[in-house]
Chains A and B, each alone.
Chain A
Amino acid sequence: MRYNRWFTPWVLVVPALTWLLVFNLWPSINTVILSFTNAKPIGGGHFVGLKNFETLLHDEQLRWALLNSVIYMVVCLPFLTVLPLLLAVLVEKKLPGITFFRTAFYTPVVASAVVVALIWQWILDDRGLVNGLAEKLGVISGPLPFLSDQWLLLLSAISLTIWKGLGYYMIIYLAALGNVGRELHEAAAVDGAGPLRRFVHVTVPGVRGTMILISILISVSALRVFSELFILSGGKGGPGGRDNSVVMLIQQYSQGFEGNLGYASALSIVLFFVTVVPMLVLARLNRRGAEA
């Protein structure tokens, strides 16, 4: 049997294309359609016009969720753009045993967010490792409410996200560092530049493009946070539901008799616009940098 017919390429493409249409493109359109209805998780529902969007405007929980998302992004950005680069430089040199260290640093990435959040829940418990040590050292007199205070809970989740993300971005930087010419480093070294100056003037400019890509990835994933906050807050979204993220709200409306897929879809549209902003800003930054 010969496979050089005109339709051969299509035979190969069709499965992937079907998935793309059924599970990506159609759901994007359907999200918009659903957002004008009051569809229920168990089925049924009808057109309600702009009602969901009016509700959005007065939704106090959404306001908190958006504020949390912005804080999440702003705190994660500097830590996760810089620390993984330093790590990548640290593991770049092929010292004996370096493969072990690379693998170990990547472990938190491989673990499920649920698993690491449960681990941190125990570490940050009132009687857990952090509070125990801090009390022992006399830094604090009573346990800090890492998991029950609105802001401390948010901060705990952010720290968890940063800790879990280190290895992921380290690997991306590591791949990029390979592209920075060794000649540049050697030339700079010959000219008497120390490690620090070589880092600032050779390494950083060399991975600039990757850095912008990573900033986009960090921002978008910070705005999409779910598991960390969900588990650390015991699924409740913190005191008074003020530690919800947008995705947590979407999930809450997705089930039960109280659920409303229409409203959840309207929230999804909010999420889409929120995540598009950093992408546009940073993409623009990238273009301007390339022109300069």
Chain B
Amino acid sequence: MSTVTQERPAVREASGTPKRRKGSFGFNSVSPREKVARYVLLVFVLLITIGPFLWQLSTSLKGSGEDIYTRIPRLLPAQPTFDHYKEVTDTIPVWDYARNSLVVAFLVVGGNVIGASLAGFAISRLQFRGRKIVLGLFLATLVLPGEVTIISQYVTVREFGLANTLFGVALPGMIGALNVLLMYNAFRSLPVEVDQAAVVDGADAWQRFLYIGLPSVRGTISVIAIFAFIGAWDDFLWPLIVLTDPDKYTLTVGLQYLSGTFSNNPRLIAAGTMIAFIPIVIVFATLQRFFFKGVEEGAVKG
């Protein structure tokens, strides 16, 4: 692990334009032929991975008079228009759904960042009786797929009187066991000497958490925040079970109804999916630097 964390940032870093390190010859350099082959493959995979999104975007922009079923597919709309976006938002309260999704996502991100870093810090850096048992409990839940307990989780949420509320959707996911373990792992890789020095200087647990622990695990925290946001925004099964009132639907649940309503007009469905897709892509594209950095810190490593 140590070799990775030391080498990688030196290569990428800063402006985001990767430069080859000075003085790296031989094995590391890529021959022009290999370079061409690599780019050809990269572009090929690129078409497979983002082609469908582009096709959907294109469909959503094609004019109502335009034949979208042409035998020879046209990527560029002949009569580009935003009408379908307007029609979708006029017929279905898409913005309310988006707001609901956002509320849930923020609750889940906040809960996880705070709850998981506190617990992760305590389990990895503080000594207390039962520490091992607590750690074991968190580990044990990993073998349990969330879907297995989803029914009784619903019963629990219902008993709290939170069925059919956005808070009920967010609540169970607000502190994930996996995130606690990721934070535990991140804090553990800090050298113990730093802690000991802080103790000698009279720092208490809280100060060590705030001023020594947190600043050094920013990468992992951003990975957790990004994943929590994406997970909450994209989740479908749980809000589908908890929410019954159409006013409270999140985007994913609302979209599913949209597809039933407009099954005869793919342009409208396309516009609806783009409204759900574009925000998450913007979030991810903006934060991807932190995400990939966090990955290299080992946050996603098994």
Contacts and interface: CB of A to CB of B under 8 A. Distances in A.
Interface of A: 2-4, 6, 8-10, 12-13, 15-17, 19-20, 22-28, 30-31, 34, 39, 43, 87, 90-91, 93-96, 98-99, 101-108, 110-116, 118-123, 125, 127, 129, 132-133, 135-136, 163, 166-167, 171-172, 174-176, 178-179, 181-182, 185-186, 189, 209-210, 213, 220, 223-224, 226-227, 230-231, 234-235, 247, 250-251, 254-255, 261, 264-265, 268-269, 271-272, 275-276, 279
Nearest to A195: B34
A203 B204 CA distance: 46
Given A17-B134, A135-B71, A174-B295, A12 B121 contact: yes
Interface string B220-236: 00000000001001111
A279 B144 CA distance: 11
B131 A9 contact: yes
Contact of B281 (A19, A110, A166): A110
B73 A133 contact: yes
Contact of B128 (A10, A125, A163, A271): A10
Given A110-B280, A115-B276, A127-B69, A268 B149 contact: yes
Counting from the closest, the 6 A-B pairs by CB-CB distance are: A16-B119, A112-B234, A12-B122, A178-B4, A27-B149, A30-B152
Contacts of A182: 27
A23 to B, nearest CB: 4
B1 A121 contact: no
B260 interface: yes
B158 to A, nearest CB: 7
Count chain A CB atoms within 10 A of each CB in B127, B144, B149 and give the residue with the most: B149
Contacts of B207: 3
Nearest to B260: A234
Count chain B CB atoms within 10 A of each CB in A113, A118, A179, A189 and give the residue with the most: A118
Contact of B49 (A28, A104, A174, A264): A104
A22 B18 contact: no
Contacts of B206: 3, 8
B70 interface: yes
Contact of A16 (B172, B175, B292): B175
Contacts of A118: 255, 259, 269, 272-273
Interface in B28-58: 30, 35, 38-39, 41-42, 45-46, 48-50, 52-53, 55-56
14 contacts: A12-B205, A13-B123, A16-B138, A24-B177, A28-B152, A43-B158, A94-B20, A96-B18, A99-B288, A106-B284, A135-B71, A220-B145, A223-B145, A254-B241
B52 A103 contact: no
B63 interface: no
B302 A105 contact: no
A9 B126 contact: yes
Interface string B1-29: 10110011001100011101000000100
